Amino acid sequence: MSVTPADLMLRRYAAQGLATEAGRIALGYFSRQESLGVTMKGAQDWLTVADGAVEDFLRARLTELFPGDTVIGEEGGGEASDAVWILDPIDGTANFAHGDRTWCISVGFLVNREPTIGIVAAPALDELYVAQRGQGVTLNGQKIAVSGVDDIGRAYVELGWSPRVPSQHYVDMIGRVYAAGGAMKRSGSGALGLCHVANARTDAYAELHINAWDIAAGVVIAREAGGWVSDFFAGDGISKGNPILCCTPALASQLSEITGIS
């Protein structure tokens, strides 16, 4: 697909507006915890009524506005194409279901498999990240940039976890980060994890397997903030997920070795 700068600008503004509106819908559920209708998709894999409602809203509006684009969502699936929206209606669902504000709505747009637009709305934190490839990134309208940290001995590293990977592999990775002198945390939202590298709240994010909807927006946000991101969309990344490493450029080679992710 060949897209003009005007096509992209239109999509960025539309996605920004829709993510903000979706944030209001999600916040409505979040503020009435008894309305969440929490169920489990599997062990430690949470689902609420809000996930479906937010995805249905975004999918319907994007399809109406851009009928030639395809949409992939965490809950409803979908087909990849050379102009594809990749949505996570609620990322950090376990936090959402427990009343923790660290969750977000993630809207990414890829052109010819290249992450091109990234919007992450975290309404309970009153934060909106907006990025477009080659056009920069903002948080609530202010430019953001990754930290200058180049020494693992000072690095604050987020390590994402899911039950899709044997827990021992995760524990081993934590051990290697501490052994190298780093410090780690886990906040429970991969999408916000990449945003937090972008605005220097952390210096790196790594996860041994993550799905495309978790990071499609965050990849653009982190790269536009000057971050280094592994080649997540190689191979079957869109349909099956991949490992991800995102960090300051100066930490990339050391963290690649520690995590085994390149």
In the complex, which residues of this chain contact ligand IPD (CB under 6 A)?
Answer: 74, 88, 91-94, 160-162, 188-190, 207, 210, 214
Nearer to ligand IPD, 69 or 91 (CB): 91
Give the strands of the sheet with 70-73, arranged side by side. Answer: 70-73, 83-91, 104-111, 114-122, 127-132, 136-139, 142-143
CB of 191 to ligand IPD, least distance (A): 6
Q: Does 91 participate in binding Ca ion (rule CB under 5 A)? A: yes
Torsion of CA 119, 49, 93, 169, to 10 degrees: -120
For residue 55, give both structure tokens: 């995805």
Contact 245, 261 (CB under 8 A): yes
Between CA 176 and CA 120 the distance in angstroms is 30
CB of 74 to ligand IPD, least distance (A): 6
Nearer to ligand IPD, 210 or 225 (CB): 210
Query: Taking CB under 5 A as the criterion, which residues in 187-216 touch Ca ion?
Result: 214
Please tell me whether 90 is known to bind a ligand: yes
CB of 216 to Ca ion, least distance (A): 11
Contact 157, 174 (CB under 8 A): no
Q: Does 224 participate in binding Ca ion (rule CB under 5 A)? A: no
- What type of residue is 19? A
Burial profile 121-137: b = 16 or more Cβ within 10 angstroms, e = fewer? bbbbeebbbbbbbebeb
Describe the chain by its helix, strand, coil percentages, rounded to 5: 40, 25, 30
Nearer to ligand IPD, 67 or 77 (CB): 77
Q: Does 75 participate in binding Ca ion (rule CB under 5 A)? A: no
Stretch that binds Ca ion, among 14-22, 30-38, 91-99, 143-151 (CB under 5 A): 91-99
Please tell me whether 45 is known to bind a ligand: no
CB of 225 to ligand IPD, least distance (A): 19
- Residues in CB range of 204: below 8 A, 6 or more apart: 155, 156, 157, 158, 182, 197, 245, 246, 247, 248, 251, 255
Nearer to ligand IPD, 123 or 190 (CB): 190
Q: Distance between alpha carbon 45 and the CA centroid of its chain, in Å? A: 17
In the 8-state DSSP scheme, what is residue 165? S
92 binds, among Ca ion, ligand IPD, none (CB under 5 to 8 A by kind): ligand IPD
Stretch that binds Ca ion, among 23-31, 87-95, 109-117, 248-256 (CB under 5 A): 87-95
Residue from 88, 158, 207, 224 touching Ca ion (CB under 5 A): that is 88
Contact 87, 72 (CB under 8 A): yes
Nearer to ligand IPD, 158 or 250 (CB): 158
- What type of residue is 110? L
- Give the residue nearest to Ca ion (CB): 91
CB of 258 to ligand IPD, least distance (A): 18
Give residues in contact with Ca ion (CB under 5 A): 88, 91, 214
**Residues in the annotated binding site for Mg(2+):** 74, 88, 90-91, 214
